[in-house]
Structure 1
Amino acid sequence: MALINQGKPVSSYFPVAQPGNTPVTIGETIQCRHPSTCVITYGICTHTFTMLWANVPDSFCLHSYGRNAIQLKNALESSFPEFKHSHSVKFLLIKETEKPSG
């Protein structure tokens, strides 16, 4: 067994999958609403990655979502109609922030 001197990270960053043509820009304030709980999380988009579904690495999806790329694609298509005809996906990396004032 290998020993690595690093524990599980605690991060304020999280990915969000959107259809490939979603118009979100780096630096934009994002309001994320959990579809089941309706809990709102606020953040800033720090990075975007757009790729064809066929090129999405399973390792990224397993790490971020606990399922491989095909499973993630199928789950998104069954829950969100906007994914059904999208051949690409845009992953947004969001840094969680406090609720914006105003």
Structure 2
Amino acid sequence: MDLVMLAGTASAVVFAVSNLPMLRKALRTGDVSSYSLASVVMINIANLVYSIYVFSLPIGPVWMLHSFYLVSCATLLVLCLRSVRGRGDDRRAGRDALPAEPVRG
């Protein structure tokens, strides 16, 4: 493996690993309230368009990194859409999205 391929592989692994804590927390808690749905949608659209370029390249570390981004961003999109749908269900049922404060007295 030459130096360029080694550098590409190492950076792909570091970038992917740096996203794991965010993704793990979102999957574990289901809390994606800090993410903008519009932003997550735009990221997914950009990833799909960028895929045309990436997958036209020879197989290499960039394929691994981009595939990871495709899967992780799509996962965040699914979680965001579920969250938005859940808030809509709460409103239709006449409930607030946040639990009521307990009465103290």
- TM-score with structure 2 setting the length: 0.23
Report which of the two structures shows the higher radius of gyration computed on alpha carbons. 2
Query: Could you say which structure has the higher helix fraction?
Result: 2
Query: Could you say which structure has the higher strand fraction?
Result: 1
